[in-house]
Structure 1
Amino acid sequence: MPVSLTVVKRLFAKSGNQCAIPWCHAPLVVEDHSIAEICHIRARRKGGPRYDPALTSDEKDDFKNLILLCPTHHTEVDKSPAKYSVDILSEIKEMHERESQNEVTPRMAEQAALIHAKQLKKNSKSIKSSPVHGNADARASSGGVAVAIGGHNQGKINIHVGGKPKKEAGKYPANSIGADANLAGYIDYLCEMYVKFMSPIERDEDALWARIGKHIKTKFRLVKRSRGHIPAEKFTKLVEFIIDEKLTNTPVGQKHIRNGTRLCSTFQEWREGK
């Protein structure tokens, strides 16, 4: 599976729009052009640099296993796995992202989308064709089917489609927070702020993301559902919960309160990129 847009947004937000190699100052996005390349610390495929068979497919494309580099250093890193080991790249990633911001502004989201689109295009080009001999037969019990055969096909291809096409359901129900990009984006921003505010006492960001997610699920009794399933009418309550009960009780949040400064941007300010 390709790296998700959410992960790319998080990577870009923490990159400072700069290649992660300490001595490189190359930007990752210039105006509306993506230069960035997504480097896997542990390769996705067997035989790749620093491949680890113990990693699952999801772990290979997870935030912890990815780092944004310029094309030059991506090539150097992957051609020199002995020099750029897993430990070295992990340390470079940690150092590069340590002082970065967690907020994803609308402009940063647009730039991250450019990187994501470039990666998808790259992945589609990397699929190699191979010759097909004999007959190929594809069937579907319901819905449609699309088949692409690369190489030189020397056999007959039969495609059988059965049943009525099923209407594809959205990931989130209508009128839910997840169905509205602005509502979902602001909640992601607040969760990012929670992770950032907790960083002085907890450096495991994945654990912090899991923690805030669990708090939200418990508060809104989601059971097996995610925060995106919360009805849009409860958006204000969710915002108040994260700010008043979570951000204010973090070390950084307490410091903001003592100094009389605001904890975060309002929804409107966030939408305007302030």
Structure 2
Amino acid sequence: MGPTEKTIKRLFALSGNLCAFPGCSLPIVESAGTITGEICHIHAQKAGGPRFDSTQTEEDRHGFDNLILLCRRHHRIVDSQPEAFSAEALEELKKIREKEMGRPEQATDAFFAKILLGDLRRVIVNNDSGNVIVDSPGAVQANTVNVRTTRKAVHIQPAAGTIGADQEASRYVQYLISRYNQFASADRSRATTFSYGAISKNVEKSFGAPWRMLAIEDFEPVCAYLQQRIGKTRIAKSNLSKGARSFTIFADFGKKSGDKG
């Protein structure tokens, strides 16, 4: 069970096609049809999720009163800080946005409702080749995905509009990860064995999805996070004291083929 098209039509109309977070002017769906927002549950739809209410019925859980439209970034923010963004607080944000921007439903709202629901539930298998795209880009995950293939591995292909689909952005994130691993692994004072894959897992934990699957809007925050982690390493601190750079900024990255900073 999930939200109905009728419910999302009403939600979209009353949102004014804007993220409900205060001061955010990002549209939920851009004029070209690009989805930049998400259907979010105020009380989580599953036990263990943020603000989950065990007394809710399934109908109430996916009903209008328990849903709010947010851009992808603010969806992650409110769900990662449920103590700060309580159910009552989100309900109030929703009411404020509805009062400011709400309008009567229009014929085109059915189209927007369909694509928002499609983004919420989307699982695409391309030609049964083992390439699978699941709810990408974004933080909302499919409930259950069963994949059967004769291949030894299933590769997840980044969708359009993600960091992984942008060649230069992807190369730069990989460069920062490599630079962090280079500096951090050289620290012989570590008490534990260094893991080269840990930094990617930390990005996934902080941003809610593997970095390749994150929306391109998250590129700058991801880079800032990685640059900060690099800056905390002993080598970077030593470089700073000598006035030397520890990484190349994106604006200068790739000006020379094979740039290594």
Shorter chain as normaliser: what TM range? 0.3 to 0.5
Higher share in helix: 1
* Normalised TM-score (structure 2): 0.47
